[in-house]
A and B are shown apart, each in its own frame.
Chain A
Amino acid sequence: MKSAVIVFPGSNCDRDIAVALELVTGRKPAMVWHRDSALPDGTDFIALPGGFSYGDYLRSGAMAARSPIMGAVKDAAARGVPVIGICNGFQVLTETGLLPGALMRNAGLSFVCRPVRLKVENSQSLFTAAYDAGETVTFPVAHHDGNYQADAATLDRIEGEGRVAFRYLEEVNGSARSIAGILNDTGNVLGLMPHPERVVEPAHGATDGRRLFEGLLETVA
């Protein structure tokens, strides 16, 4: 698997995702700067990391979504290349329009930073094939703007199409229908607020996130 991690000014989970990808795939990902306009040849997996790109100016993910590299990311996504956006990466994906809806200020207004329990709603996707449907996993969250909102018709559509990948099993941020992660209509783009890359080795205290990357490796490579 030849993966690329997009680095924006203010990304701070780019190293975490790079370490997780190298651990699982045995290959260092290419770190691609936001000002680049092309991805390395043969890139078959793209990760948009967590962080506070551009200081969350205007809206979280808004500036990053308009940076030069995102044209190449959109083209790759349209060709079917798997793209994951974690935390700020999820915000960037909604701001580019690759995923529907928006991530708003947490309903409780506080930054939320703790492990949360999630239900794997769809275990058929590229990203979740190594999980069982309905399985409970625990990933950490660390965000201020994770309150997923979309209009009722959009929510009904993504639910009906099985595009809710992960759902919170506890109150975290006020997200509509407790949505923690969603897929695009072709299933190759996943955005989620919790951080699977922070639970991939025993030293992290848990390894629930590791299977996400192992499953990907199996389907992509």
Chain B
Amino acid sequence: MLISYQWLQTFFDTPLPPPEVVAEALTFHSSEIEDIAKVGTDTIFDVKVLPDNAAWLLSHRGIAKEVSVILDMPLTSDPLRLSNEVLPVSDQIHVTLTSPVCDYYTATLIEGVTVGPSPDWLREQLEGLGQKSINNIVDITNYVMLATGQPLHAFAAHTLAHGKGYAVGVRQAHSGEQFVSLTGEEYQLTPEDAVIVGGKDEVLALAGVKGGQYSGITDQTTSIVLEAAHFERTAVRKTAQRHKLPTDASKRYENGISRVLIPPSVALAVSLISKVAGGAVIGTKTVGEGLEVRQSVTVTLSQINSLLGLSLTISNVTTLLDRFGYSYEVQDDEEVTVTPPAERDDLTIPADLIEEIGRVYGLDKITSVPPELLVANQLNKRHYYAEVIRQTLVARGFSEVYTSSFRNQDKVRIQNALASDKGYLRSSLAENLREARAKNIPHRDLLGIPTILLFEIGTVFAVDTEEFKVCLAVQTNTTYKAKTDDVLWRTAIADLESVLQTSLAITEAGEGVVEFSLDAILVTLPTPSAYGKHVASPVVSYQPFSLYPAVSRDIALWVGEGVTAGAVMSALQSSVSADQLVRLTHLDTFTKDGRTSLAFRLVFQSDTKTFTGVEIDALMEVVYATVAKYGWEVR
């Protein structure tokens, strides 16, 4: 939510500290400030208001109250604590509530207004907060919502005409009833939606969500009916969700704003309308109960200190409560009973109060208690044996991958998939590993490995059950060849069976892919007594890899006696930059007639482009020149 620093200042007689100080105070004691922006002479904060506070914090008054408590500056102009002028009750207005969604409704009739553009201060204030200026009346309703958190709505009064007066009601919509919003979109309503209706029972607004086109304020409007109402949070949330129409108003209602916001919000709106648009209040009609009774909450000093890890005294606690302005009673210097203010719906259990006290006192003042060294009293058997399997396979040259739990077609369907090819949960790891194998085959030279040997350990899903499986995939050449590849996975499986001393429950084997159930063998394996030795994860600085193709060239050299492969490799690596020669692998060594031949594979790749054949040839010329310089001979 966007909050204006200059607007916040209007709640205080004393000057606020600079915006950065206010932002830091809010971040560390209330709600995170996600962004600070200069807009004209103002500073706008983007405040991350979370659901626990949203009933009272989605407004400038709410944020100003937090600033007041945190910085210990009195809130001298609090709209919720002003005594408001009592408006005359009008018999001209009839309010009928038949929907359970609305339990409190105030309609105020104002005649003789001049609708037109808003004055600059109002337009600029709204625009600075990302709101569009519509006209002076609509702008004032939005301004008041941003001030107090209470949504308001203004109807052109003639659309409520009924006999000699005006009628407004809240009822459930009829099935299929139409509603055209202020911005012209059409909605088909359901009996679960609550609507505001006018004198002819026609739909004027979607209760708590959005006003309608028909009753909207235009330049010709001279009489208005101002609505301030309390709608039930869950019903508003469901209506907004059903019609995909979340609004500033619905967001406030679904978070449970209090009905006590209504009288001060009406008073503020009436006074602004009189100033900006003229006119006179004819009267008001209220139906329902506006009181909000909050239960008191008792918390002990030892509970506070025990949960927060602090050593507060009772006077620390009461000093903080005084800053909030809560009414409270202290018993025996050990217990305090707090009655939350009417607008706060979130203080119902001792932990809620403890949070209030802790965050304002300062979570930074919590000192850490180092943990005791203890032996975990239970070992995770699946993790233990998964680690044994990893170690065994890695020693065989296998590398571990993680792949997606989603498939394009399988047994268990996701109702709201991200994409059509991710519509199901995998029932096997095999397909994913086949795909991963195919993807890695072209990178063998780059990786400096002759064969792709992969495994994954992960969850697979049947219709009702899920289990951990292990899958291996192998391939030497660009296609699977039983003769070279089968032996690779068969040896790995034999290794595992020998290390685990059990036969594996193989569920799939073929074309270089083998899968078995880890869970099925766990029951047969002995309970481990200790985890393997703790190995710190490696100190690695990850290097992003190039997305341009790599090109391989082989070279075989006759070298003199005593020349090692390592010596040749360092000579070649110092002649071509590592940005270009990204991998150099020793392929083989053989000796014939007293001469030694060494063969190498050079892999060239650029971070910035695709190497052309001509560029590779030029790099090879550099390599040949180095070879010549050392007196080696290209075969």
A binds B: no
Binding site for B on A (CB under 8 A): none
User: Measuring CB to CB, which residues of chain B are less than 8 angstroms from any residue of chain A?
Assistant: none
